[in-house]
Amino acid sequence: MLPEFLLTETTVREGGAGADIALGDQQGETLVLTLGITRIIEQESIDISIWGSADGNDWGTRPLATFPQKFYCGTYQIIADLSDHADIRFLRAKWAVNRWGKGSPKPLFTIYLFAQAMQQELALGAA
């Protein structure tokens, strides 16, 4: 049940995926996804996508939502409308990283990803 972290604050140095999160009562609803990047090094990028599954096994061939490629620290939000995907019961974050230029070729990001229902986001903003 949301709100919940799809990924708690984690340092990543290579591509990967987070744990499966059950949507619970938010199946088929609109979600606000918040990505926080709290640490980076220069000349690198990260691509983060959100995947959905009805059974926890088949994650499909296309993500439900994708953040634009990021290069800097900051907090970023996107909306994921799941109304056309009412069968989706689980979410999972996946990421890919890239590094170029001088220094170590290994990327370094510290990130978190939070999901909450749109109605909760609006109610918190009005309070």
DSSP line for 53-105: ESSSS---SS-SEEPPPB-S-EEEEEEEE-TT-TT--EEEEEEEEEE-SSS-S
- Predicted local distance difference test score (pLDDT) of residue 124: 55
More confident residue, 16 or 3: 16
- Are the C-beta atoms of residues 108 and 13 closer than 8 Å to each other? yes
Q: How far apart are CA 25 and CA 60, in angstroms?
A: 22
Task: Pull the structure tokens for residue 120.
Answer: 């909760």
Per-residue pLDDT of 79-111, as tens digits, reads 999 999 999 999 999 999 999 988 888 999 999
Q: For residue 3, name the pLDDT band (cuts at 50, 70, 90).
A: confident
Beta bridge partners of 50: 65, 93
Q: pLDDT over 70 for what percent of the chain?
A: 93
> Which of 47, 37, 43, 38 has the alpha carbon at shortest distance from 15?
47
Residue 8 pLDDT greater than 70, yes or no: yes
